[in-house]
Amino acid sequence: MKANLALLIIGLFFGTGAGFLVGQQVDAPEGHSHDHAAHGEAHDDAGPMAHDHGMLIEGPAASVSVAVTPDGPGAINLRVLPEGMRFAPGSVNGEHVPGEGHAHVYVNGVKEARIYGEWIHLSGLESGPATLRVTLNVNSHEQLANNGQPVEVTQDITIP
């Protein structure tokens, strides 16, 4: 009986650790490492795909707008239109390069996605009124800023 209990505890210990390691790679695009220590960063696991470090980096004049289209219960199609920044998925986690980066998408304060192009489909959202926030972020994930102001758009939407 003691041997079975010991084996169970050992299995849970190693299984949990392996699950954690595998789970850390879920939101990482191919070739993307989540080794934040290498960047001298702390990791924020506040929500799905969290990677928001709360720092601002000044960049060239930029802005962002969005277009939201309902796409069935709990789902939307979102088009993100940055100006003054181009999406650079191949440079994610790299050094900051003025004028390139990606966007972070939040619904009701929860980070839902990191996007590398204009379009994204979000599903599994709670139906009803919601606040959508999209931020422009540089390759190293800090939020892009102009004159100390974050480059972002916030819009009240209704999720079907």
At 122-137, the pLDDT tens digits run 999 999 999 999 999 9
Kindly report the pTM of this predicted structure: 0.68
The residues facing 149 across adjacent strands are: 146
- For residue 88, what are the domain limits? 55-159
pLDDT by residue (tens digit) across 68-113? Answer: 999 999 999 999 999 999 999 999 999 999 999 999 999 999 999 9
Query: What token pair was written down for 105?
Result: 């998408």
pLDDT by residue (tens digit) across 16-73? Answer: 443 433 333 333 333 333 333 333 333 333 333 444 446 999 988 999 999 999 999 9
pLDDT of residue 60: 87
Overall domain count for the chain:
1
Kindly report which listed range (6-15, 115-124, 128-137) carries the lowest average pLDDT score. 6-15
The residues facing 100 across adjacent strands are: 86
Alpha carbon 34 to chain centroid, angstroms: 12
- Report yes or no on 65 lying in a domain: yes
Interatomic CA distance for residues 56 and 148, integer angstroms: 8
Q: Are 142 and 55 in contact (CB under 8 A)?
A: yes
- Report yes or no on 119 lying in a domain: yes
Residues 6 or more apart whose CB falls under 8 angstroms from that of 102 comprise 87, 88, 89, 92, 114, 115, 116, 136, 137, 139
The CATH number covering residue 106 comes to 2.60.40.10
Alpha carbon 104 to chain centroid, angstroms: 5
